[in-house]
Amino acid sequence: MVHVLLRILVWVLVIGVGYLVFGPDGFDSSPEPAPFEHQAAIFLPPAKTGRESALEDAATRGPLTRAESEELLTLSRQRQSDFWQQQGTSVTEALAGVRTGRKAQLLGILQERGLSREEAGVFLVVVERDRPDLLADRE
């Protein structure tokens, strides 16, 4: 037990000395001065294909075959990959020209793209949390 406490004490001293020598920037791996205040564009999720929607509907009615499950997984991963690569239309572009009811308009766009109520709700929560200015009315 004493060995553990000594190791903890040594690491605290090493990190403390490192902090004093290099300052807070020595422990910061972010290239930006304020990484949590970064205002990156938020992109709309890509639209679901008709096949993906059909497979999801079939999955709610009963179990899918192995081939159908693999196809659904592949389609879902491909759509998510496009989203994480920030391809397509951004929320700012989608809501350009909309002055009032921006949140309702965004919800309509998400539903047109085939997102379920839960998926659209999660996306709206993230946009409200990260970029509330995007949903604020302009008038």
- Please tell me the predicted confidence (pLDDT) of residue 27: 67
AA letter at 77: R
Mean pLDDT, to the nearest integer, of 67-84? 90
CA distance 82 to 88: 8
Q: What is the pTM of this model?
A: 0.65
CA distance 26 to 22: 5
Per-domain residue ranges for the chain? 2-35, 50-134
For the stretch 6-64, pLDDT in tens is 999 999 998 888 888 877 766 666 666 665 665 678 888 888 889 998 999 999 999 99
CA distance 85 to 130: 18
Q: What is the DSSP string of the chain?
A: -HHHHHHHHHHHHHHHHHHHHH-GGGG---SSS-GGG-----BPPPPPPHHHHHHHHHHHHSPPPHHHHHHHHHHHHHHHHHHHTT-S-BHHHHTTT--S-HHHHHHHHHHHTT--HHHHHHHHHHHHHH-GGGTS---
- Please tell me the predicted confidence (pLDDT) of residue 112: 92
For the stretch 51-63, pLDDT in tens is 998 999 999 999 9
